[in-house]
Amino acid sequence: MEIKYSREDLIEICKEAVVPFREWGDRDSYSAQRSVESIYQGLMANIPYTYKIEGNTIWMTFEGVTDDHITELNKYSLDIDSLEDYREVYGYEDEMFDGEGIDWHSSYLGTYMPTRERLNEGGDWY
């Protein structure tokens, strides 16, 4: 049976996927946290989207982004710890922490997030 997520379901997963920097591992790194925030912003701004599920990952793609959507995006954020706080404690590890989420002015408007099941398992959500 294929799992179906509503916009509201996806928004709730985004909120729950945020973890404190001391728990960042692989895919729940700063880069992944910013990706989840991008998805959250797109969903909250009512941008049309499609998704596909591969294993424990939801691949999201947004389409038809307008200037009004871009303005609306800036109204939404998640409480993500800063990369500076992480580096103050752990130093610079590698580039996996350097991402900034979706660039809403680019031609590709996609990224990933964990499934509900993956979040329920706990730990690093890749």
In a domain, 1, yes or no: no
In a domain, 126, yes or no: no
In a domain, 78, yes or no: yes
In a domain, 13, yes or no: yes
**Model-level pTM greater than 0.85?**
yes
Check if the beta carbon of residue 22 is closer than 8 Å to that of residue 89.
Answer: yes
In a domain, 49, yes or no: yes
CA of residue 62 relative to chain centroid, distance? 13
In a domain, 51, yes or no: yes
Can you give the pLDDT at residue 125?
A: 65
In a domain, 101, yes or no: yes
Is the predicted pLDDT of residue 126 greater than 60, yes or no?
A: no
Structural domain boundaries enclosing 93: 7-121
The 10s digit of each residue's pLDDT in 28-72 is: 688 889 999 999 999 999 999 999 999 999 999 999 999 999 999
In a domain, 40, yes or no: yes
Domains identified in the chain, total number: 1
